Structure 1
Amino acid sequence: MSHGTARSPMIFDRAFLTDVEGVTELIFVRHGEQYVPDPRTGPVGDTIDPPLSDRGRQQAEAVGARLSADRVDAVYASPLQRALETGRAIARHHRLEPIVIDDLREVEIFRDIPPEKSAIDFLGRELLLGIRERMLRERKWDVYPYSESSFEFRKRTVNAVEAIIAGNQGKRVVIACHGGVINAYIGHIIGSPYDMFFRPAHASISVVFAGEGVRALQSLNDVHHLRTGEWNLVSH
């Protein structure tokens, strides 16, 4: 084959969607850092939808600048403030407005506890400590009582992302969302048994290619844009 001649996709090109036409590129961005009271001792309701912190806004600006040079066809976002603010910081570089998808919201831990109650008051210290120990070992949302189940959460988030793919074939889209959502979708496509198999940094980038019935992970938890010059904006 002579140089400069387009070659037919090989087996690993097809398996991992490299050098294949019509591929949809999904750029998952975790939201910037938020201000959150301690969910164990503060009211559960205060932890659901906090805004970005000052550092979180800096992180959102940094990831927006990182993606400003690339073509972006659409930006999708969770309705929760921290993700929507991050999505807007990305979208404005492309003269876009984020498309809000309710099912991209974070897993709803302790959603059935009265919002004015703290988890420690409602569950008791010993049960809360026991739950924490289980989560360390099992990394499944199902260990939390009064919460959204692992099955419910993965079903709604995977369906939401697949709907985005279906509506954006061959395009590059940004999905500004949450650490649990990113774990749910990528965990689904790689077959991870854990609900949290890695910890995405705030405003980190993870990339998935989709096409021809294939979903292929390309990069995970990229934070290079948060470690530039004299700044180190990496947080979790």
Structure 2
Amino acid sequence: MVTLYLIRHGQSEANSKGIIQGHAEFPLSELGKKQASLAGKWMADIQIDAIYTSDLQRAKATAESIAQFHPLKASEWKMIREVGLGPLEGKTRKEMGVEFPDLQRDALLTSGIEGTETVEAITERCKYVINQLSSAYQEKTVALVSHGGFISILLMYIIAGDHWATLKRPFVIGNTGITKVTIDEDGSTKLHYTNRTNHLEYDGLQSSTVLY
């Protein structure tokens, strides 16, 4: 069995301004740095065998806050970066609404707009990630530091496989929200919990959720 902890990055400067990022680079905000530190402390007592992070800086900074409590370095893995949103990146929802009036809020990640990552490409990424982890980390625990959009889709892929895009995603993943998943040797999966943010509540912080 493989145990996965999926952690969304802390609040970024773009999150704080309501800007959609995709592959665009934005650093953590001051709140995001505090969130990342608290997530790291919460995970300090969990035995982790490997930490992987998206190659985007907001995820890498969060992963470093987790890795400092373990004898590990976070390894960059481009396959778990955020969904590519092309011409939508760097815009607020209002700005996107003006430029793309037919864009539906709940279809932001699968809009089909030219230049955005396709459903097929996202599906292949999910399949690759799950297959690689299942092959390499049996009886191990892995932390993946990623993004709200990709984590929510990866969970949908775990549930529905290649048909994930035909369903509405029910998952809300807040900044430094932690999700635990296990994958058995036969490929069956269990969601133990999603978007756990109690590590923030101890310091009176909030998980500033940006819906994708």
Summarize deviations over 1:168-212 as a string: whole Å, max 9, x none: 111111000011111121101222534743220100101110112
How far apart, in 2, do the equivalents of 1:186 and 1:124 lie?
26
Change (3 A) 1:195 1:155: farther
Computed over aligned residues only, the root mean square deviation of the Cα atoms, in angstroms, reads 2.7
SS of equivalent to 1:75: strand
How far apart, in 2, do the equivalents of 1:139 and 1:195 lie?
12
Letter in 1 for 2:132: A
In structure 1, the residue matched to 2:201 is 227
Q: Find 1:203's aligned residue among 176, 197, 209.
A: 176
In structure 1, the residue matched to 2:127 is 158
Cα offset for 1:139? 6.0
Cα offset for 1:130? 2.0
Contact 1:32 1:86 in 2 (8 A): yes
Change (3 A) 1:58 1:143: same
Change (3 A) 1:103 1:128: same
In structure 2, the residue matched to 1:77 is 53
Letter in 2 for 1:89: S
Gaps of 5+ in 1: 1-22
Contact 1:101 1:160 in 2 (8 A): no
In structure 2, the residue matched to 1:26 is 4
Gaps of 5+ in 2: none
Letter in 2 for 1:177: S
How far apart, in 2, do the equivalents of 1:94 and 1:126 lie?
46
Corresponding position: 1:130 with 2:102: yes
Cα offset for 1:215? 1.7
Change (3 A) 1:217 1:139: farther
| TM-score when normalising by structure 1 | 0.75
Letter in 2 for 1:24: V
Contact 1:183 1:195 in 2 (8 A): no
How far apart, in 1, do the equivalents of 2:117 and 2:51 lie?
26
In structure 1, the residue matched to 2:156 is 187
Question: What is the aligned residue count?
Answer: 200
Q: Find 1:217's aligned residue among 191, 196, 199.
A: 191
| Greater mean alpha carbon deviation, residues 58-67 or residues 160-169 | 160-169
Contact 2:35 2:205 in 1 (8 A): no
How far apart, in 1, do the equivalents of 2:72 and 2:49 lie?
8
| Greater mean alpha carbon deviation, residues 30-39 or residues 61-70 | 30-39
Contact 2:126 2:157 in 1 (8 A): no
**Higher-Rg member (1/2):** 1
Q: Find 1:176's aligned residue among 142, 145, 160.
A: 145
Letter in 2 for 1:73: D
Instruction: Quote the sequence identity (%).
Output: 24
| Greater mean alpha carbon deviation, residues 147-156 or residues 158-167 | 158-167
Contact 2:138 2:185 in 1 (8 A): no
Cα offset for 1:146? 2.4
How far apart, in 1, do the equivalents of 2:142 and 2:207 lie?
23
How far apart, in 2, do the equivalents of 1:158 and 1:179 lie?
18
| TM-score when normalising by structure 2 | 0.83
